[in-house]
Amino acid sequence: MLIVGELINASRKAIGEAIKAQDVEYIQKVAKDEFEAGANYIDVNAGIFVGKEPEYLQWLVKLVQEVVDCPCCLDSPDPKAIEAALSVHKGTPMINSISLEKERYDALLPVIAGTDLKVVALCMSDDGMPETMDARLKIAEKLIGGLVKNNVPIENIYVDPLVQPLSVNSSFAVEFINSVEAIMTQFKGVHTMCGLSNISYGLPVRKFMNQAFAIMAIAKGLDGLIINPLDKMMMASLVTAEALAGRDNFCVNYLKAFRNKQFDFLG
Amino acid sequence: MLIVGELINASRKAIGEAIKAQDVEYIQKVAKDEFEAGANYIDVNAGIFVGKEPEYLQWLVKLVQEVVDCPCCLDSPDPKAIEAALSVHKGTPMINSISLEKERYDALLPVIAGTDLKVVALCMSDDGMPETMDARLKIAEKLIGGLVKNNVPIENIYVDPLVQPLSVNSSFAVEFINSVEAIMTQFKGVHTMCGLSNISYGLPVRKFMNQAFAIMAIAKGLDGLIINPLDKMMMASLVTAEALAGRDNFCVNYLKAFRNKQFDFLG
């Protein structure tokens, strides 16, 4: 399971303020916390700073990689911001994200083509957000096809089928998890990943629902998540779901998590 | 989701002693608690009392139905015990369980054939416990075929694919949940159900794992469970998983559970 730590995102108030104030210490503390809690990539996003996004995204990458030995997930639709970040990034980052929206696709494809970058391929097109499994599959097929044709290995592609709120339509969770299963089955070697919080938008007890949704998606084959790795219950759920999904031989990681007291929050 | 309350089982020490002591009050309290917590059927099991099982099972059914307006799940492989219980049962009970083991199958089929009884069809044969999805499917096909041929409507059949411990084989949870999906897809109208606790046998943090496993199985189509309905976290997980599985229009039950403070244990 690939875990992307989602916290260093300018749309979160504390991070937005820290970026504005150039608060190195705070950003680096969050990066360290995420890494120590199990993040494989640290997402960096400076999207709210129009005009300054390239500069700030580059700054974030530098700060993060000064304190953790971990690649970043460069969270921007803007090729200028991505390129500024890439110019200082050590190792192989993940680009978050390309989509089938023409402007975004055309702008990001040249940056990604022929590289060994990991890339999130978001199931969104100029026709809007897909609601059904079929609509998602059509977009996924075009995105995967286009990327592979442009020499991006399928193993480097993380399709994000796009989570939509259950409060809007009672079938949105099922359509999503069935999309995960279909994508993982039909495109051998590809990965799937997503953020979770949209699923519970407008509903109470959101963290609990997000976590159940993650477990269900893992049952269907999801192998990547953009989450808050400091959420102890979420991380315990993931290590448990991974064991149940047959991805943890002899439950080694599950037992290690138990020994490391990662279930102690249960009391 | 059909919920069978598992607590009135003689193999649990307090219940075994209560049956022996003919402690009406205790048994009836447990039945009431299970019903109020959301059980649709109350499982009754007197299996440890060799020779006295028919008498005790009948007694349990009477006691339970004196205090709750709810059918029982008659938990015995012995047709004599089942028939004794049936003779006093009000409404339509569930028989738990027939299997493909020849002796058990031949003994229970005449009791069930041509009735409107609900029946748990356990994926077990004289060849032992199935380990793979394919082995489970073969048994399920024979059980469903045999029951339907004997005029048991497919809608009354709850196939139990048989949970086996993850500690024994890291693929046992996946084989189980994939069996659920295959059975629900291939035999339209049939149900699937199971108990959970075997999955975590030999591992720590069992309740948490059982619950994640339940959520995964529901993602794959499971629509029945034999559980302890007094387990608040389990019940909260089920109402959440049901909403995510698209079985709760407009999240009515989820929101009702929230208003009824069923998530308050989360703090």
Say whether residue B117 is in contact with chain A using an 8 A CB cutoff: no
User: Of B49, B76, B103, which one is at a domain's C-terminal end?
Assistant: B76
Q: Are B190 and B144 in contact (CB under 8 A)?
A: yes
Torsion sign, CA atoms B28, B30, B32, B38: negative
CB contact under 8 A, B263 and A218: no
CA–CA min distance A33, chain B (Å): 24
CB contact under 8 A, B215 and A215: yes
Question: Does B267 fall in a domain?
Answer: no
Question: Does A139 fall in a domain?
Answer: yes
User: Of B31, B52, B76, which one is at a domain's C-terminal end?
Assistant: B76
Say whether residue A26 is in contact with chain B using an 8 A CB cutoff: no
CA–CA min distance A251, chain B (Å): 7
Torsion sign, CA atoms A65, A68, A71, A74: negative
CA–CA min distance B82, chain A (Å): 35
SS (HEC) of chain B:
CEEEECCCECCCHHHHHHHHCCCHHHHHHHHHHHHHCCCCEEEEECCCCCCCHHHHHHHHHHHHHHHCCCCEEEECCCHHHHHHHHCCCCCCCEEEEEECCHHHHHHHHHHHCCCCCEEEEECCECCECCCCHHHHHHHHHHHHHHHHHCCCCHHHEEEECCCCCCCCCCCHHHHHHHHHHHHHHHCCCCEEEEECHHHHCCCCCHHHHHHHHHHHHHHCCCCEEEECCCCHHHHHHHHHHHHHCCCCHHHHHHHHHHHCCCCHHHC
Distance CA A5, CA A31 (A): 8
Chain A interface disruption, residue of B133, B170, B232, B237, most A CBs within 10 A: B170
Q: Is the pLDDT of residue B267 over 90?
A: no
What is the bridge-based pairing of β-strands B41-44 and B94-99? unpaired
How many folded domains does chain B comprise? 2
Q: Tell me which residue in A177, A236, A250 faces B208 most closely, judged by beta carbons.
A: A236
B222 in the same domain as B154:
yes
Nearest CA in chain A to B171: A246
CATH of the domain at B224: 3.20.20.20
Say whether residue B95 is in contact with chain A using an 8 A CB cutoff: no
Distance CA B98, CA B76 (A): 9
B220 in the same domain as B107:
yes
Say whether residue A244 is in contact with chain B using an 8 A CB cutoff: yes
Distance CA B4, CA B193 (A): 9
Question: Does A253 fall in a domain?
Answer: no
Distance CA B113, CA B98 (A): 12
Question: Does B251 fall in a domain?
Answer: no
Distance CA B20, CA B23 (A): 8
CB contact under 8 A, B208 and A240: yes
Question: Does B226 fall in a domain?
Answer: yes
pLDDT value of position B53 = 98
The mean pLDDT value for B152-158 works out to 98
**DSSP state for residue A251 in the 8-state scheme:** G
pLDDT one-digit tens code per residue, B159-188: 999 999 999 999 999 999 999 999 999 999
Question: Does B250 fall in a domain?
Answer: no
CA–CA min distance A120, chain B (Å): 24
pLDDT value of position B123 = 98
B106 in the same domain as B68:
no
Say whether residue A221 is in contact with chain B using an 8 A CB cutoff: no
pLDDT one-digit tens code per residue, B18-71: 999 999 999 999 999 999 999 999 999 999 999 999 999 999 999 999 999 999
Chain B interface disruption, residue of A171, A240, A262, most B CBs within 10 A: A240
| Chain B residues within an 8 Å CB radius of A208 | 236, 240, 263, 266
A142 in the same domain as A18:
no
- Residue B249 phi/psi, 5-degree rounding, is -55, 130
The mean pLDDT value for B228-253 works out to 97
**DSSP state for residue A248 in the 8-state scheme:** S
pLDDT value of position B161 = 98
Pairs of residues, one from chain A and one from chain B, whose beta carbons lie less than 8 Å apart: 114
Cβ burial, residue A148 (10 Å; 0-12/13-18/19+): middle
Q: Are A214 and A23 in contact (CB under 8 A)?
A: no
Nearest to B70 by CA among B114, B33, B109: B33
Say whether residue A139 is in contact with chain B using an 8 A CB cutoff: no
| Chain A residues within an 8 Å CB radius of B266 | 205, 208
pLDDT value of position B70 = 96
The mean pLDDT value for B84-104 works out to 97
**DSSP state for residue A71 in the 8-state scheme:** -
Give the count of beta carbons closer than 10 Å to the beta carbon of residue B114: 9
User: Of B46, B76, B106, which one is at a domain's C-terminal end?
Assistant: B76
Say whether residue A69 is in contact with chain B using an 8 A CB cutoff: no
Say whether residue B258 is in contact with chain A using an 8 A CB cutoff: yes
Distance CA B191, CA B41 (A): 15
**Tokens found for residue B36:** 């109020």
Question: Does B252 fall in a domain?
Answer: no
Say whether residue B132 is in contact with chain A using an 8 A CB cutoff: no
Torsion sign, CA atoms A87, A14, A236, A226: negative
B129 in the same domain as B98:
yes
Q: Tell me which residue in A209, A245, A263 faces B240 most closely, judged by beta carbons.
A: A209
Strand partners, A160: A122
User: In A68-205, which ranges are continuous DSSP H helix?
Assistant: 79-86, 102-112, 133-149, 172-186
A196 in the same domain as A121:
yes
A226 in the same domain as A111:
yes
Q: Are B193 and B224 in contact (CB under 8 A)?
A: yes
Q: Are A21 and A57 in contact (CB under 8 A)?
A: no
Cα A216–A220–A225 angle (5° rounding)?
A: 70
Q: Tell me which residue in A174, A209, A219 faces B246 most closely, judged by beta carbons.
A: A174
Question: Does B219 fall in a domain?
Answer: yes
A69 in the same domain as A179:
no
CB contact under 8 A, B173 and A240: no
**Tokens found for residue A187:** 């495109």
Q: Tell me which residue in A199, A204, A246 faces B173 most closely, judged by beta carbons.
A: A246
Chain A interface disruption, residue of B163, B181, B210, B244, most A CBs within 10 A: B244
Say whether residue A210 is in contact with chain B using an 8 A CB cutoff: no
Q: Are A39 and A225 in contact (CB under 8 A)?
A: no
Q: How far is CA B113 from CA A190, B17, B119, B259, in A?
A: 49, 35, 10, 43
Q: Are A113 and A146 in contact (CB under 8 A)?
A: no
pLDDT value of position A88 = 98
B221 in the same domain as B139:
yes
pTM listed for this prediction: 0.97
B68 in the same domain as B25:
yes
- Residue A113 phi/psi, 5-degree rounding, is -50, 130
| Chain B residues within an 8 Å CB radius of A266 | 205, 208
Nearest CA in chain B to A203: B255
A57 in the same domain as A121:
no
A156 in the same domain as A104:
yes
Q: Are B258 and A233 in contact (CB under 8 A)?
A: no
pLDDT one-digit tens code per residue, A153-164: 999 999 999 999
Cα A236–A237–A243 angle (5° rounding)?
A: 95
Distance CA A154, CA A227 (A): 23
CB contact under 8 A, B166 and A258: no
Which of the four pLDDT bands, split at 50, 70 and 90, describes residue B254? very high
Q: With a cut of 70, list the residues of chain A below it in pLDDT.
A: none
What range does the domain containing B98 cover?
92-230
